[in-house]
Amino acid sequence: MKSIKDKTEKLQKVLANLGHGSRREVEGLIQAGKISVNGQLAKLGDRIDVQTQPKIRINGHLISTRMKEQDICRVLIYYKPEGEICSRHDPEGRATVFTNLPRLKNARWINIGRLDINTSGLLLFTTDGELANRLMHPRNEIEREYAVRVFGQVNDEQINQLRKGVQLEDGPAAFKSIQSQGGENANQWFNVVITEGRNREVRRMWDAVGVKVSRLMRIRYGNIILPKRLPRGGWTELNINDVNYLREKVGLAAEEKSFLTPEQRKNKYKRIKAKRPIKS
């Protein structure tokens, strides 16, 4: 534990707060030997005091250690299309979710959780690493709602099993709610809610009861809903009330300023942008 006079913080927490990724992403950079402090390669567990102005380099580039409190917390909704991955760079050259986002100076967008390449829908990005880290932590139990299309008939026994819980390789899992939305022929639609963000969790739960998912879309995160007018590959920025809703959910202080102008706050759909149209 830190002593009362100890002003140091874990390196990954400091860098996350400064907008250089989530804590998990920063830990990966440390393990890969891509971060140095005062000329020495960083190690997991290292602590720093930003007041001493340490020279921190990421991939050889010196970064600013200004305190995050001086910046405005920004959050975007992005409508992720199928076929994009949630990584900044891909050796295979596949499209990434970062391509269409607005450019930033002295900061970068951090994705709050992930959607797999075949899943579309609502994905949140923020400039605040601590907000991203807390929202992704399972203890906060943020609801995620998905629209799911499955192939074939689903019986009451399977539905009850999904409500009660199924056993996955990384532990038991259950839908907080599951509601039929109808369908045509062999395709049936359901809305399901989970409160964790495990890898491919929704697909694996349906697989556990012998049902194949043919389409999956996230439509809600907490009380943030995917806007109907937002095109695939498009983004829109949350206003200060929505940002502070997310901050309150995870015990962070409210923001007093917004990046948006008064005119932008009046009409959020003027802020909806897409780099290119994406066809169905």
Catalytic-labelled residue, pool 46, 49, 90, 116: 116
In the annotation, is 116 catalytic?
yes
- Cβ(275)–Cβ(100) under 8 Å? yes
- For residue 5, the one-letter residue type is K
Please give the Cα distance from 64 to 36 (Å, whole number): 13
**Pairing of the two strands 144-151 and 212-221:** antiparallel
Which parts of the chain are beta strand (E)? 9-10, 35-37, 40-41, 47-48, 56-58, 61-62, 75-80, 110-112, 119-126, 144-151, 166-168, 171-173, 177-184, 187-194, 212-221, 224-225, 234-237, 273-274
Residues 6+ apart with CB under 8 A from 208: 166, 167, 168
User: Active-site residues: which are they?
Assistant: 116
